[in-house]
Amino acid sequence: MKGRVITFWLLFGGALLAFLSINSFYGLLLTKREPFLAIIAGINSAIYFLGLSEKRSDLRKRYSHLLVGSFFSYILSIYQVLVLLSIWLEGLLSSTCLLVFDELNLPLIISGFALSFLFDFAKKQFETNNL
């Protein structure tokens, strides 16, 4: 039962981050082209996907991929917010608003914060010694 749940979430996280990576790479949906950020998101996606290559019986290893992967996405969205903050400041100095909607990369920020719940879930598994 538990094995199924973890497989689902790893797939979910991996696919989501892979989408975000492609999205930032080509600047498709509500984002501008940012190859480097795309690579980082791609690495994040790899953290999830490589969790699937762990032995199915070794739940601990699978959960640790979920744990770190979700935390990483969370950090990524915080980073993005910081970048936005600096762009906003930059604009403030030259008294123009540089915050274009594409600059926000909202999908990344929102998924990052959403995935932080997954991080909490994985963390609880380890803390309660469930694994």
Partner 1 sequence: MENQTDAIESKKIKIALLGNPNVGKTSIFNVLTGSRQIVANWPGVTVEKRTGVMKHANHTVDVVDLPGTYTLGATSLDERIARDFLIDERPDVALVIGDAVNLERSLYLLLQVLELRGDVVLAVNAVDEARKAGFDIDKHELSKQLGIPVVLTSAVTGEGIEELKNTLIKSAKSSSHVHYLFTDEIEASLRNLSDRIRGNTSLSAFDKRWLSIKLLERDKEAEKLTGMSLDYDYSIEIAETRYKYIKRILSTSVKGKEKIGWNLSEAIDHVMTHRFLGILIFLAIMYIVFQLTFTISGPLSTMIEDLLSGLGSVVGSWIGIDWLRSLVVDGVIGGVGAILVFVPNIFILFLALGVLEETGYLPRAAFVIDKLMYAMKLSGRSFISLLLGFGCNVSSIMSTRSISEPKERLVTILVSPFISCSARLPVYVLIAGTFFGVNAGIVVFFLYLLSIVVTVLSALLINKLFFKGEPSTLIMELPRYRKPRLTSIVLYTWNKGRHFLEKAGTIILAASVVIWLLTYFPTEGTGSFAATIGKALGPLFVPLGYTWEMITSLVFGIAAKEVIVSSLTTFFGNLSMSGTSLDIMRTIISPEIALSFLVFVLLYVPCMPTLAVIKNETGSYRFVFFSAFYSLAVAYAVALIVRVVGGLL
Q: Which of 35, 36, 32 is nearest to 101 (CA)?
A: 32
Question: What are the C-alpha distances in Å from 102 to residues 23, 27, 32, 62, 105?
Answer: 11, 8, 5, 35, 6
Residue the block writes with tokens 């996907």: 49
Q: Is 50 in the site for partner 1 (CB under 8 A)?
A: yes
1 scored as a contact of partner 1 (CB under 8 A): no
Radius of gyration of the chain (CA): 17
Residue selected from 6, 17, 38, 47 as contacting partner 1 according to rule CB under 8 A? 47
Rule CB under 8 A: choose which of 22, 75, 99, 109 binds partner 1.
Answer: 75
By CB under 8 A, is residue 22 in contact with partner 1?
no
Q: Which stretch binds partner 1 (CB under 8 A): 7-15, 20-28, 33-41, 107-115?
A: 33-41
Report, in Å, the least distance between residue 81 CB and partner 1.
11
Is 36 among the residues that bind partner 1 (CB under 8 A)?
Answer: yes
